[in-house]
Amino acid sequence: MSNTHYISSELLNLEKISSIINDQKKIALSEESRHNINSSRAYLDKKITESTKPVYGVNTGFGSLCNVAISDNNLTLLQENLVRSHACGTGTYVPKEIVKLMILLKIQSLSYGHSGVHLDTVQRLIDFYNLDILPVIYEQGSLGASGDLAPLAHLALPLINEGQVWDGDMPVSAQVYLQKFNFKPIHLKSKEGLALLNGTQFMTAYGVFSLLKSHKLSYLSDVIGAISLDAFDCNLSPFDPLVHFVRPHTGQIKTAERVMSLLNSSEIAATEKTNVQDPYSFRCIPQVHGATKDVIQFVTKTFKTEINSVTDNPNIFPHEDRIISGGNFHGQPLALGLDFLAVAMAELGSISERRVYQLISGLRGLPPFLVDSPGLNSGMMIPQYTAASIVSQNKQLCTPSSVDSIVSSNGQEDHVSMGANAATKLLKVVDNIETLLSIELLNATQALHFRLPLKTASFLESFVKGYRENVAYVTHDRIFSNDIQKGKDYLKNIAIDPQELY
């Protein structure tokens, strides 16, 4: 199998992106993409030579300065000034994994031949990707319309030997760092700076990264929820297919089927139950987890469209002999999806915390706080506090960004998506879900111990055994922060069949 991914008109999806990342594939342009890029640039050069008509961002200023004409001998300076002036990012550093995704997605968007960039510019971005030359980018600065201007400006700065890049975990001067690769500065031609800065790759990279995690956490929520079901000695009748075929939401049906499959060989589940009904946090797992699955699928569809789109401005159509100024940089589809996904993922954490609360309540033959000698030992009392505080934080993070807008650029950019803010806070929510599931797993495996000699299903026993290699059974109070972190590491490192995820 080739360890190179060729950028082409073939659609990218989450599974392909996951493969590119996990297999550490290099990327290269297909002949088709090279032709598209060259044809677009040749057409633009011809247009500039033959016409005196103003074209936005090519021979005019930007934003509210769009009516200011720029002379031909200043077109390179215009584009480089654009990159410098828009590099206004601040705040926390963007994680390097997301920076690398931004580069990949920017290359994909430029490869369609509707942006007018030079082949050399795209090739330099490919070199950055393949050599792990990752620009230093900041979280704050994008309004999520006009493209992700500030973060993409920081992405573009090293192309002209300015800004900073990562040397391990240290930000260093791009000019100094790039000398060892003998990279000369790219001299941006007409339209190139605008093509690099206009686009949604900051929002999209955060969204893709969060979606990859969300698919996995959705699966793990079902697995850990199934362990909790046995730990709390629950009925399986609410997971009967008949219940869900009369309310056939796709995610609901899939969740119920998965839970029934996971618990198929469980000795605990097979025992006769004295409790007629279980609390909603157990009984309604299909309905709650399933609704989140449906949202994940909806947002995945939105982002699949976006990562295979041209999102800069203006767009160049050589075959139609047209250059059109539009608004494909506007992040509203993404902003709405990012906010929706944050709400859906937060609900996985909310119902998980409720299961933890039930497990430590001293019900169904389980000791209070799931520990021997309660009183002398606090047991699982405070991990539930931690879970509750995280759930509350998620509620605050789920305030939608997409309903906000602030006028900018002297009124020219009078409605913006705020999708960049939606993107960065979504990742915080998703990371919080990982922590909440680690806390549930800590409690569920502890409670499962009190069901011995009865065992849960074979797959879940194997899952718990792997966890126990990292987190031991709790016999007395200890520093549970360590257990929560080890649990998160365990969940991060689990490899899951892509067919279960996508």
Domains and CATH numbers, the chain: 4-199 (1.10.275.10), 206-314+322-501 (1.20.200.10)
pLDDT in tens, 416-445: 999 999 999 999 999 999 999 999 999 999
What are 358-396's pLDDT values in tens digits? 999 999 999 999 998 888 999 999 999 999 999 999 999
Q: How far apart are CA 420 and CA 410, in angstroms?
A: 21
pLDDT at 44: 92
The Cβ-side half-sphere exposure at 209, using a 13 Å CA radius, reads 26
Q: Which of 43, 56, 177, 467 is catalytic?
A: 56
Nearest-angstrom CA–CA distance, 432 and 391:
8
280 CB neighbour count, 10 Å cutoff: 13
Beta strands at 4-7 and 26-29: parallel, antiparallel or unpaired:
parallel
Gyration radius of the chain over CA positions: 26
The pLDDT of residue 490: 98
Q: Residue 208: what pLDDT? A: 98
Q: What is the DSSP letter of 144?
A: S
In terms of DSSP H, where are the helices of 263-284? 267-270, 280-283
Task: Confirm whether 502 is a catalytic residue.
Answer: no
Supply the pLDDT for residue 64.
62
Beta pairing partners, 166: 171
Give the span between the Cα atoms of 493 and 501, in whole angstroms.
15
State residue 166 phi and psi, 5-degree precision.
-85, 130
Q: What is the pLDDT of residue 65?
A: 66
DSSP β-bridge partners for residue 441: none
How many beta carbons lie within 10 A of that of residue 237, not counting itself? 13
Concatenating the DSSP letter of every residue in 287-335 gives HHHHHHHHHHHHHHHHHHHHHTS--SSSEEEGGGTEEE---TT--HHHH
Signed CA dihedral, 115, 116, 120, 121: sign only = negative
Residues of the chain short of pLDDT 50, as ranges, are: none
